[in-house]
Amino acid sequence: MKLVSFQVRTPVGTFTRIGALHGASIVDLNMAHARRLTDQGETQPRRLADAQVPATMLEFLEGGPAATDAARRAFDYVVGYDSSVTGPAGETIVYDPASVRLTAPLPNPSSLRDFIAFEEHIAATSKRRGQPIPPEWYKAPVYYKGNHRTIVGPDHELRWPLNTHKLDYELELACIIGRKGIDIAERDAANYIAGYTIMNDFSARDIQFQEMACRLGPAKGKDFATAIGPCIVTPDDIQDLAALRMIARINGDIWSEGRFGTIHWSFSHMIEHVSRGEFLYPGDLFGSGTVGGGCGLELDRYLKPGDVVELEIQPIGILRTTIAAQDERSTGRS
């Protein structure tokens, strides 16, 4: 499944819902499950649906494999109808994407860890500093903890941050944890991944390196925004993770290309390492770090106001961000 989060406006307010893409439509999974329960004769379908297939992504992930299995059954059940199928009380189940607004698929991750797992990337950035790759990098996957409260989604307009002179993109794949666990072995780690999404770890390089000169961070140089989206693809819908092609376009021009299979530290390695003596929780977000050649720092090219940044990894899709002018405020879309 391709899972999304979307906002619906109603007479009583705007609500964020969880859905799954079906062709050019979005299926509301919570409402689809309620419809399936109704047809099975359940007397309180909405209450049971809210418990079994919660309407928001983090709650859904906290439901674990049982919630995913129920959602898949509901999805398969509803797509057997035509698009006019409705919920127990006439609620919309199948949406035209033009009638809703996609947000980040996981708007409020439990935590954010971003790794530096591609050898080509750390080799290039180390060379720019006149240094070799630190030998410690080969001993365990290294990461920093980012700001999980500044997640933005597809087609977001990013306000120019912190008066930086070196605003950069980073072309990454991310995995989302779907089960609680501790001391997870590498061989079992894949069972803890709920799905994958595209991640853009925006970076203000001049600010980042200034603060990291103090042997701590990064912090302000990255914490202003991390983009993810446009959807979360469940592992069963990606046949060969290593074969995924990663592309970054700026204003339609290709700046970066790579392949996920060039990664040195796999997501399974990351999960094993992080979970050693520490619990992982549903909704934890792990970024792969930048694929080799996948950022402006390696190219000595940086973003400017008005640029449109597109990161593409199929079958996930395209994660698009527009960089606002320095004297303009963001529209607040996320």
pLDDT at residue 331, as a whole number: 42
The torsion of the CA quartet 211, 212, 218, 219, rounded to 10 degrees, works out to: -20
| Phi and psi angles of residue 46, each rounded to the nearest 5 degrees, phi first | -65, -45
pTM greater than 0.85? yes
CATH of 2-102, one of 2.40.170.20, 3.20.20.150, 2.60.40.1260, 2.30.30.230: 2.30.30.230
Cβ atoms within 10 A of the Cβ of 166, count?
Answer: 17
| Phi and psi angles of residue 30, each rounded to the nearest 5 degrees, phi first | -60, -45
Structure tokens at 9: 């406006």
Average pLDDT over residues 281-307: 97
> Which tens digit of pLDDT belongs to each residue from 188-201?
999 999 999 999 99
Distance from C-alpha of 316 to C-alpha of 197, rounded to nearest angstrom: 6
Mean pLDDT over the full length of the chain:
94
The torsion of the CA quartet 151, 192, 217, 207, rounded to 10 degrees, works out to: -40
pLDDT of 327 strictly over 90: no
> Which one is predicted more confidently, 165 or 11?
165
Comparing 2-102 with 111-323, is the CATH topology the same?
no
> Which tens digit of pLDDT belongs to each residue from 275-289?
999 999 999 999 999
First-to-last alpha carbon distance for the chain, in angstroms, is 22
pLDDT of 334 strictly over 50: no
Distance from C-alpha of 271 to C-alpha of 276, rounded to nearest angstrom: 9
- Residue ranges per structural domain of the chain: 2-102, 111-323
Structure tokens at 208: 């980042």
Distance from C-alpha of 164 to C-alpha of 31, rounded to nearest angstrom: 45
Distance from C-alpha of 65 to C-alpha of 59, rounded to nearest angstrom: 12
> Which tens digit of pLDDT belongs to each residue from 183-234?
999 999 999 999 999 999 999 999 999 999 998 889 999 999 999 999 999 9
Q: Is 300 left (phi over 0), alpha (psi -120 to 50) or beta?
A: left
> Which tens digit of pLDDT belongs to each residue from 87-104?
999 999 999 999 999 999
Structure tokens at 59: 């709650």
The CA-CA-CA angle for residues 287, 188, 145, to 5°, reads 25
> Which tens digit of pLDDT belongs to each residue from 13-27?
899 999 999 999 999
Share of residues in the chain with pLDDT > 70 (%): 97
Percentages (nearest 5) of helix, strand, coil residues in the chain? 30, 30, 40
Give me the half-sphere count of Cα atoms (radius 13 Å) on the Cβ side of residue 147.
18
Residue 66 and residue 15 in contact, taking contact as beta carbons nearer than 8 Å: no
CATH of 111-323, one of 3.90.850.10, 1.10.3720.10, 3.40.50.460, 3.30.450.20: 3.90.850.10
pLDDT of 5 strictly over 70: yes
205-228 burial: b if 16+ Cβ within 10 Å, else e: bbbbbebeeeeebbebbbbbbbbb
The partner residues of 190 in beta bridges, in order of sequence, read none
Question: Kind of pairing, strands 13-22 and 25-28?
Answer: antiparallel
pLDDT at residue 127, as a whole number: 87
Residue at token pair 């439901």: 63
Distance from C-alpha of 286 to C-alpha of 176, rounded to nearest angstrom: 6
The CA-CA-CA angle for residues 202, 134, 269, to 5°, reads 70
The partner residues of 226 in beta bridges, in order of sequence, read 151
Q: Tell me the pLDDT band of 128, cut-offs 50, 70 and 90.
A: confident
Average pLDDT over residues 56-78: 96
Instruction: Please state which of the ranges 29-38, 123-132, 310-319 shows the lowest mean pLDDT.
Output: 123-132
